[in-house]
Amino acid sequence: MKIRMPSLCERRDDIAALAAHFCDKAVRLHDLARVELSPGAISAIEAAEWPGGVRQLAGAMEVAAARAAASGASVVEVAHVFPEQKASGSAGSALLTFQEETRRFQSSLLNRALTANDWNVTATARALDLTRAHVYNLINAFGLKREGGS
C-alpha cells in the first residue's frame, strides 16, 4: 500500500504553525531567551520555497531563533530567517528578491480579490483556491485593511 505524503509547498497552511513549533523547540533545546515569529517573518516563511521540506524548515527556524536570541531580539524577523535577503538588498540595489516580489504580488492579488468580493473572505478564498484560514493569515501577515471600514 502506498501512502502519499504531500510536500510542504502543498501544505502552505501548515508552515506558520510548524515554524512556530520549531522555533519554540530550538529555544528549549538551546536554552535561549523566548522569541516569537514576527508577522513579516511568518509571511516570508510561508512564501519561501522549502525544497528540503520539514527538515529544512526546522533547521532554518533553529538558526533563526539562535540569531534572534544572539542579537537580543525577542522577535524573529525576516533578516534572522533569510540573512541573504538583507545582504542582497544592499544600498544601490533596486532589485527585490524573488521572495519579496512574490509577497508584494500576493498582497496585491489578495487585496484586489477581497475588494472584488466586498471583503467576503469565504468568496475570496473560493476565488483564489485557498482555505479561509489561509486567507485570514495572509490578511494579517500583509496588514491588509478594508478601506473606509473595519
Digit-coded pLDDT (tens) for 15-57:
999 999 999 999 999 898 899 999 989 988 988 888 888 999 9
CATH fold of the domain at 8-84? Helicase, Ruva Protein; domain 3 (1.10.8)
Is pLDDT above 50 for 93? no
Q: What percent of the chain is helix, strand and coil (3-state, nearest 5)?
A: 65, 5, 35
The whole-angstrom separation of Cα 136 and Cα 74 is: 25
- The 10 Å Cβ neighbour count of residue 146 is 12
Is pLDDT above 80 for 99? no
Torsions phi, psi for 36 (to 5 deg): -120, 160
The whole-angstrom separation of Cα 103 and Cα 99 is: 6
Single pTM value for the model: 0.57
111-123 pLDDT tens trace? 999 999 999 999 9
Extents of the domains making up the chain: 8-84, 98-142
pLDDT of 45 reads 92
The whole-angstrom separation of Cα 41 and Cα 22 is: 14
- The 10 Å Cβ neighbour count of residue 81 is 26
* Alpha carbon separation from 123 to 10, 30, 133, 148 (Å, rounded): 21, 44, 13, 20
Q: At what angle do helices 98-116 and 132-142 cross, to 10 degrees?
A: 120
